C-alpha cells in the first residue's frame, strides 16, 4: 500500500513546534540505520493546532537495539514492549513497528510481533492516530486516510470497528475520550459497533480503564466525557450506581466536573484523590442526607466517615480496586465536607484541623460554592480561619514508592 504524503505547505506544522529531544531521538535512530518517525497523538495534536502533551516515536529498531543506543533508556511492558528515554522529567516513548493487525475477533493478550511501518499503522486504533510525521523532510505520511478525517473532524476505527473493540475494549473508552476532547463526530459504523460491543468493556484490565478515567478527570473535558460515557451505556457496565445517579436531572456531579474543567483550563492541577472525591461526592451527600432524615438524632462524623468508605466501595466495586491510600484520602475529603458545613447548616466558629489533606477538602468546598452560592459564606469563613490560626498547610506531594532491597544470601541469618 502506498501512503499519501502531505507536505508542509498543506499540513502547516511549524518546525519549532517539534520537541527537540524527540527530534534528537529520531536523528540518532536514523544515524544507526533505522527508520523512525513521530507517531500517534502528538502528530494528531500538531495538525489540530494544539500543543501535544507527549511526543512518541515509532521505529524499525527493536527494543534491545534502542536500549543499546541510548544510555538513558529503560525497557518496560510485557504485553507491549517499548522503551522510555528520559531527559530529566521528560519521557520520550519509543515503540518498535509491530504487525498483528488481523480481522479475528479475540482479545489481544500479547503485542510484540515486529513488522513494517505499514503494518504498524494498520494495527492502531483510530485513523486520526495512524499518521507518521518525518521532522527532517517535514512530511506527514498517511496510510489510513487519517489526514482527511482530522480535517472533517471524524472518528473512525482502522479496520472493522466491532473487531477492533473486541480485540481491545479500552478502545471504546478512548473513542469517547476523543469525542469529548475534540468534539468530533463518530463515524456511523464505528458508533454502531460501540453500542453493540459495550458489554465487552468488562473484559478489559481495570487498571487500564481506571487510568483512562483519571486522565480524563485531569483533561479539562471531564464533564463531556462522563456525560457521553453514561449516555452510550459504558458507565452502567463499570459502575451502575454512578450511572443511575448521573441519569437524574440536575445532578451536581456533572456541574462539579464542569467547575474542575474550568480550573484545569487555567492550569490548576488537582490531586487524583480530590478529583475522584468530587466525582462521587454528590451521590454520597444524597445518601447522607437521606439517612440523616431517618435518624432520631443527627449523624456524627464517625458515622459519616463509615458511610464515605461504603459509598466508595458501592460505586467502584467490584470492577475497580481503589488503592488504599487514595481511598483513605477520598474518605477524608468527603467526610470533611460535613465538618465544614454541619448537617444542620449552621455557621459555627471554625477550628481548622492540622491535617495535611485539609486543603483538598477546602478545595472541594470551593468547587461546591461555585455552583451553590449559598455555600460561599462557609468557604470564606473556613479560609479566613485557616490563614488566621496558622500558616497555610500545603497539600502533600504524591509519595514515591520505595523499592524494597532484595535480601542477598549473604544477608540471611544462618539456620
Identify the bridge partners of residue 157 per DSSP, sorted by sequence position: 126
What pLDDT was estimated at residue 318? Answer: 86
Q: What are the cell numbers at 64?
A: 534491545
Helix (H) or strand (E) holding 5, with range, is: strand 4-6
CB neighbourhood size of 98 (10 A): 22
Lowest mean pLDDT among 50-54, 67-71, 256-260: 50-54
Is the backbone of residue 397 left (phi > 0), alpha (psi -120 to 50) or beta? beta
b or e along 236-245 (b: 16 or more beta carbons within 10 Å of the residue's beta carbon)?
A: bbbbeebbeb
Instruction: Report d(CA 5, CA 349) in Å as an integer.
Output: 68
- Give CA 10 to chain center in angstroms: 32
Instruction: Report d(CA 413, CA 415) in Å as an integer.
Output: 6
- Give every CB contact of residue 50 below 8 A, 6+ residues apart in sequence: none
For the domain made up of 155-248, give the CATH fold. Answer: Hydrophobic Seed Protein (1.10.110)
Burial class for 293, CB neighbours closer than 10 Å (0-12, 13-18, 19+): exposed
Instruction: Report d(CA 78, CA 28) in Å as an integer.
Output: 25
Instruction: Report d(CA 110, CA 80) in Å as an integer.
Output: 7
Strand, helix or coil for residue 332 = helix
What pLDDT was estimated at residue 102? Answer: 59
Indicate whether 390 pLDDT > 80: no
User: What residue ranges in 48-184 does DSSP mark as E strands?
Assistant: 56-59, 73-76, 82-87, 90-96, 131-134, 139-142, 154-155
**Closest by alpha carbon to 144, among 160, 133, 159, 162?**
159
Tell me which residue has cell 544507526.
32
Instruction: Report d(CA 178, CA 228) in Å as an integer.
Output: 11
Within the chain, all domains assigned CATH 1.10.110.30 are found at 155-248
Within the chain, all domains assigned CATH 3.30.460.10 are found at 1-152
Instruction: Report d(CA 140, CA 402) in Å as an integer.
Output: 43
Instruction: Specify whether the CB–CB gap between 119 and 99 falls below 8 A.
Output: yes
pLDDT band at residue 389 under the 50/70/90 scheme: low
Indicate whether 80 pLDDT > 70: yes
What pLDDT was estimated at residue 355? Answer: 87
Instruction: Specify whether the CB–CB gap between 61 and 96 falls below 8 A.
Output: yes
Instruction: Specify whether the CB–CB gap between 27 and 116 falls below 8 A.
Output: no
Indicate whether 85 pLDDT > 90: yes
Instruction: Specify whether the CB–CB gap between 72 and 59 falls below 8 A.
Output: no
pLDDT band at residue 77 under the 50/70/90 scheme: confident
Instruction: Report d(CA 319, CA 206) in Å as an integer.
Output: 7
Cα separation values, 119 from 64, 127, 129, Å: 20, 14, 14
What pLDDT was estimated at residue 208? Answer: 93
Q: Give the residue numbers annotated as catalytic, written as ranges.
A: 54, 56, 125
Percent of the chain with pLDDT over 90: 81
Provide mean pLDDT across the span 70-74. Answer: 96
What pLDDT was estimated at residue 344? Answer: 83
Indicate whether 103 pLDDT > 70: no
Question: Contacts for 42-48 with beta carbons within 8 Å, 24 or more apart?
Answer: 42/133, 43/131, 43/132, 43/133, 43/140, 44/128, 44/129, 44/131, 44/146, 44/150, 46/13, 46/17, 46/18, 46/133, 47/11, 47/13, 47/131, 47/140, 47/147, 47/150, 48/150, 48/182
pLDDT tens digits for range 38-47: 999 999 999 9
Indicate whether 407 pLDDT > 80: no
What pLDDT was estimated at residue 79? Answer: 74
Provide mean pLDDT across the span 346-366. Answer: 88
**Closest by alpha carbon to 301, among 314, 288, 315?**
288
Instruction: Specify whether the CB–CB gap between 141 and 134 falls below 8 A.
Output: yes
90-96 and 56-59 beta bridge pairing: parallel
- Measured at the alpha carbon of residue 146, what is the angle toward residues 49 and 162, in degrees to the nearest 5? 125
> Average pLDDT of the chain?
91
CATH number of 1-152: 3.30.460.10
- The radius of gyration of the chain's CA atoms, rounded to the nearest angstrom, is 25
pLDDT tens digits for range 271-311: 999 999 999 999 999 999 999 999 888 899 999 999 999 99
- Give CA 383 to chain center in angstroms: 31
Provide mean pLDDT across the span 64-91. Answer: 94
Q: What are the cell numbers at 141?
A: 505520511
Amino acid at each position: 500500500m502506498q501512503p499519501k504524503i502531505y507536505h508542509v505547505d498543506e499540513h502547516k506544522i511549524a518546525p519549532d513546534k517539534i520537541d527537540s529531544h524527540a527530534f534528537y531521538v529520531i536523528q540518532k535512530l536514523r544515524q544507526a540505520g533505522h527508520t523512525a518517525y513521530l507517531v500517534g497523538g502528538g502528530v494528531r495534536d500538531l495538525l489540530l493546532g494544539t500543543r501535544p502533551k507527549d511526543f512518541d516515536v515509532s521505529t524499525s529498531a527493536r527494543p534491545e537495539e534502542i536500549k543499546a543506543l541510548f544510555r538513558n533508556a529503560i525497557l518496560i511492558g510485557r504485553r507491549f514492549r517499548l522503551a522510555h528515554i528520559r531527559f530529566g522529567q521528560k519521557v520520550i516513548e519509543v515503540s518498535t513497528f509491530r504487525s498483528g493487525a488481523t480481522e479475528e475477533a479475540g482479545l489481544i493478550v500479547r503485542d510484540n510481533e515486529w513488522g513494517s511501518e505499514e503494518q504498524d499503522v494498520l494495527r492502531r486504533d483510530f485513523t486520526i492516530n495512524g499518521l507518521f510525521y518525518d521532522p527532517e523532510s517535514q512530511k506527514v505520511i498517511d496510510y489510513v486516510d487519517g489526514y482527511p478525517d482530522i480535517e472533517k473532524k471524524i472518528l473512525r476505527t482502522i479496520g472493522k470497528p466491532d473487531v477492533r473493540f473486541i480485540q481491545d475494549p479500552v478502545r471504546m473508552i478512548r473513542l469517547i475520550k476523543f469525542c469529548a476532547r475534540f468534539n468530533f463526530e463518530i463515524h456511523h459504523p464505528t458508533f454502531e459497533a460501540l453500542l453493540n460491543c459495550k458489554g465487552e468493556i468488562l473484559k478489559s484490565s481495570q487498571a487500564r480503564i481506571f487510568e483512562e478515567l483519571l486522565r480524563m478527570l485531569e483533561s479539562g473535558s471531564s464533564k463531556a466525557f462522563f456525560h457521553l460515557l453514561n449516555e452510550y451505556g459504558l458507565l452502567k457496565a463499570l459502575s451502575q450506581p454512578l450511572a443511575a445517579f448521573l441519569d437524574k436531572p440536575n445532578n451536581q456531579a456533572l456541574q462539579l466536573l464542569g467547575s474542575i474543567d474550568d480550573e484545569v483550563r487555567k492550569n490548576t492541577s488537582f490531586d487524583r484523590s480530590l478529583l475522584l472525591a468530587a466525582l462521587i461526592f454528590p451521590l454520597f451527600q444524597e445518601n447522607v442526607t437521606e439517612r440523616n432524615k431517618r435518624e432520631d438524632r443527627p449523624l456524627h462524623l464517625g458515622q459519616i466517615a463509615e458511610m464515605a468508605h461504603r459509598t466508595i466501595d458501592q460505586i467502584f466495586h467490584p470492577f475497580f480496586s481503589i488503592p488504599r491510600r487514595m481511598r483513605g484520602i477520598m474518605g477524608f475529603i468527603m467526610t470533611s465536607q460535613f465538618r465544614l458545613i454541619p448537617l444542620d447548616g449552621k455557621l459555627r466558629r471554625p477550628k481548622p484541623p492540622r491535617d495535611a489533606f485539609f486543603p483538598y477538602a477546602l478545595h472541594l468546598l470551593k468547587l461546591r460554592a461555585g455552583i451553590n452560592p449559598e455555600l460561599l459564606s462557609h468557604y470564606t469563613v473556613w479560609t479566613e480561619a485557616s490563614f488566621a490560626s496558622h500558616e497555610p498547610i500545603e497539600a502533600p506531594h504524591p509519595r514515591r514508592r520505595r523499592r524494597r532491597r532484595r535480601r542477598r544470601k549473604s544477608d540471611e541469618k544462618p539456620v
